[in-house]
Structure formats: structure tokens, C-alpha cells
Amino acid sequence: MKMKITALAAAAVMTLATAVSGISAAAAGIPAAEDSNNFLLDCGSRAGYDYLGTMENGEALQAAYDRMCEAAAELWCNTNKTLDKISVYHTYAAIPYDGLDYNTVGIVYLTFRNDFPLYYFTDCMMVGDKTNFYLISDSSYANGSTRAQAQQDIMDYIISVAEKAEDAGSDYEKAKIVHDAINEDLEFAYDTYGEPEREAWAHNVLGACQNGKGVCECYARVYQAVLNYLDIDNYIVSGIAEGGDHAWNAVRLDDGKCYYVDCTWNDMLETDFYFAKGENTMSKDHTVDVPTDDPMRFFIELPDISDTDYDASAIKKSRVKGDVNGDGFINITDITITAANIKGKKLLSEENFKYADMNGDGKVNITDLTKIAAIVKGKAK
């Protein structure tokens, strides 16, 4: 269990900074379900790295991955550095092909990005010449002081969301609390033309940690990062939904199987339908990418995806005051729907009203909301 202090995150970064020279042993990260007491590693995983090792020429693929990890960790730690330009690109590393071709190193790069959601500066664009594959960043992250502020905001946000869930009794409940907290904080980002926002921040964790909005990749990456920090095994998932590129997550829950979670669709549709869903349900409108020679469509094979939806009935608790929606938990969702009732935006059913009426006076008002919030914050039982 992580300590509930932001200083831990800063200390973790300093620890990594002093270990850069020997990072090859740690560059691949750790399994998401393990705790290294190192903020960068705790928020990432090595699922993609391990999968690359099973592929043809796996050792060379993993070596390229490690070089990318080392370069990204160095940039995170060095907030005094201003990125140089090669041609029109702000570049922070050149990765030699070492016998691999451009597309193959591109597959490594995509896999590396999917393992480390915190590296907001890893651009989705791939650039290379005859000799090297270049790691580039959006121009908005070229200045070191900008990155320093971004990284502090990331650490603060990840830890603040994780704290809401860390005392929950099951991985299902933790995953649901984090899902609800992120969807409460975020809204889908559109540009001035009503199209999904294309700015870099909308596609990385900074959309959530600084701007309160983002597109599907932002939702999925920040969800991945918080669950990793809580030591819950999970993966970002890329694929197609309703004919367009989309990102969501797969999360390993208490029965040991993985289930799909689509925070974006749940937020936009104001539903929990796409939470803890199995392959049979999700495949109706979501198609997962697979291992392929195309670096823009490559995705590792996911293990242990359940065919059926998760059955949470076995872990649900007896309903108590404050569990307004009757899901067995008292969390931010109960605060939100109680507040909506008080504001007259969406009235509670007669049954749910009884569980929101914390003091039993036949009314649901700010007094009841305060009592529910105190439970969620751990200040009351």
C-alpha cells in the first residue's frame, strides 16, 4: 500500500534520477501488480516488454525498448533540459536500428508507450531516417520548466485519485471508485469545430491532470496509471469502436480474470454499462487490435479476458446508509447522484432516497451530502 503523501512521489523521481546510469535492469518496468516504491515504475508496467520477448528477434526488440525507457526516464528527471530540434521535430533521443527496420522499431515504440502512461511527452507520431528512430515530443513540452510543472501536476493528481480507492476491500471496488472519480473530473474534449480535440494534452494524462478534459486515450491512460499505482493489473487497449480508433482498458479483477472498462463511453453516455464487461458483451461494438506488422495497429495479445461479464454480487456488502445507488459501496458516485437530487437535476427513486437521508429526517439536503462525503474521505464511518 502506498503512503498517502505527495512527498513519496517526489522522492521516487529522485531515486530514479540517481539510478539512470544503471537503468537497464529496471528500464523494462515492473508488473503492474507489484510495488517498487518508485513513482515512475509504480505507474507503469512491463506487459508489453514481456510480450516483445516472445516475438521473433525478441532480445533485440527488448533492447530497443530499454533504450527508449532510459531516454524517457532521463527526460522526466532532467527538467533543466530544453529539447533540441532535428528538422522540424523536438527530439530527445535517437534509437539506432541495430539490425531492426523502421516498422519493427515502431512496434517497439508503440508497445513502450502503452506500458508507461505517465510519459506524456512521448509523441504518437513516429519519425526515423536510414540510421535512427527518433523519440520526439510535442513542442509544448520542449521547455524544462513546463515539464516540471506538468510532472508535479501528474503526481498530485494520480495520488489524489488513488487515495480515494486504496482502502477499498476489493480490486473491483477500487477499479470502480477510480473509474467514477476520473469520470467525475473529466469531460470529453472537442475543438472549436466540434471534432475530438487533436492537441497533445488531450491524448495523454495531462488532459486529466491539468485540463479536466481529454479524448479516449486520455481517459484510458490516466485510468491505467492510477490502477498501476494501486497495484491492480491492467492494460490500455487500442482498437476500433463504431468505425473509429478508440482506446479503453482491460482490468484484472478479484476472480483473476481480465474485464474491459471503457471510461470514455461510460462518461459520455452517463452510464456504467461498459464497466467490467467480458468479451461476449464488448465485442458487439469494440474490436481489439492484434499483433500485426503495421506499427500503427499493433497491440499485444491480452491474457485471460473473460468471455462473460464480471459478477460483483459475491463481494457486494449489505446495503447501508450512504450507499445511495445500491451498488454495495459508498464512493464518489453516491456523492454525485445525491448532489444532483439536491439541485433538482435528477431526483432519486423512493428506495435510493432512504439511503441518502443520512439523519433520517425525511429530507435529503446538504447535511446528508456532507455526511456521505465524510465517509468517502475516511473522516467518518
Q: What DSSP line would sit under 20-72, residue for residue?
A: GGGGGGTTT---TTS--S-HHHHT---HHHHHHTTSTTHHHHHHHHHHHHHHH
The last residue of one of the domains, among 304, 337, 364, is 304
Q: What is the CATH number of the domain that holds 292?
A: 3.10.620
Domain membership of residue 309 (yes or no) is: no
**DSSP, residue by residue, 309-333:** ---GGGTPPPP-TT-TT-SS--SHH
Q: Which amino acid is at 153?
A: D
Residues 277, 189, single domain; the answer is yes
Res. 25 pLDDT band, cuts 50 70 90 = very low
The last residue of one of the domains, among 304, 332, 366, is 304
The last residue of one of the domains, among 304, 325, 356, is 304
Domain membership of residue 155 (yes or no) is: no
What is the pLDDT, as a whole number, of residue 317?
A: 57
What is the pLDDT, as a whole number, of residue 345?
A: 85
Q: What is the CATH number of the domain that holds 327?
A: 1.10.1330.10
Residues 40, 83, single domain; the answer is yes
Q: Report whether pLDDT(204) > 70.
A: yes
Domain membership of residue 245 (yes or no) is: yes
Domain membership of residue 132 (yes or no) is: yes
Segment 97-124 mean pLDDT: 97
Q: How many domains does the chain have?
A: 3
Please tell me the number of Cα atoms within 13 Å of 62 on its side-chain side: 20
Q: Report whether pLDDT(234) > 90.
A: yes
Res. 351 pLDDT band, cuts 50 70 90 = confident
Of 172, 161, 159, 160, nearest to 329 (Cα)?
Answer: 172
Considering the chain, what percentage of its residues have pLDDT values greater than 90? Answer: 81
Residues 63, 190, single domain; the answer is no
Of 5, 20, 111, nearest to 72 (Cα)?
Answer: 20
Q: Report whether pLDDT(198) > 70.
A: yes
Domain membership of residue 150 (yes or no) is: no
d(CA 314, CA 325): 17
Residue 35 or residue 140, greater confidence: 140
Residues 268, 369, single domain; the answer is no
Mean pLDDT of the chain: 90
For the ranges 211-215, 268-272, 315-319, 358-362, which has the lowest average pLDDT? 315-319
Segment 241-267 mean pLDDT: 96
Residues 48, 171, single domain; the answer is no
What is the pLDDT, as a whole number, of residue 35?
A: 86
CA distances from 106 to 37, 101, 132, 187 (A): 30, 9, 11, 31
Of 220, 208, 206, nearest to 249 (Cα)?
Answer: 220
What is the pLDDT, as a whole number, of residue 316?
A: 56
Q: Report whether pLDDT(236) > 70.
A: yes
User: Is residue 164 within 8 Å of 227, Cβ to Cβ?
Assistant: no
Q: Report whether pLDDT(151) > 50.
A: yes
For the ranges 183-192, 213-222, 283-292, 321-330, which has the lowest average pLDDT? 321-330
Residues 28, 76, single domain; the answer is yes
Torsion of CA 341, 347, 350, 355, to 10 degrees: -20
Residues 183, 298, single domain; the answer is yes
Q: Report whether pLDDT(22) > 80.
A: no
Segment 324-349 mean pLDDT: 90
Residues of the chain by 3-state class (helix, strand, coil), percent to 5: 45, 15, 40
Give SS3 for 239. strand
Segment 290-313 mean pLDDT: 93
What is the pLDDT, as a whole number, of residue 368?
A: 95
Domain membership of residue 161 (yes or no) is: no
Residues 222, 296, single domain; the answer is yes
Domain that residue 286 falls in = 166-304
Res. 315 pLDDT band, cuts 50 70 90 = low
pTM exceeding the 0.75 threshold for the entire prediction: yes
Q: Which amino acid is at 18?
A: T
Domain membership of residue 107 (yes or no) is: yes
Res. 326 pLDDT band, cuts 50 70 90 = confident
Name residue 196's beta-bridge partners. Answer: 190
Residues 10, 132, single domain; the answer is yes
Residues 350, 296, single domain; the answer is no
Domain membership of residue 254 (yes or no) is: yes
Residues 92, 31, single domain; the answer is yes
Residues 251, 366, single domain; the answer is no
Residue 84 or residue 319, greater confidence: 84
Q: Report whether pLDDT(4) > 80.
A: no
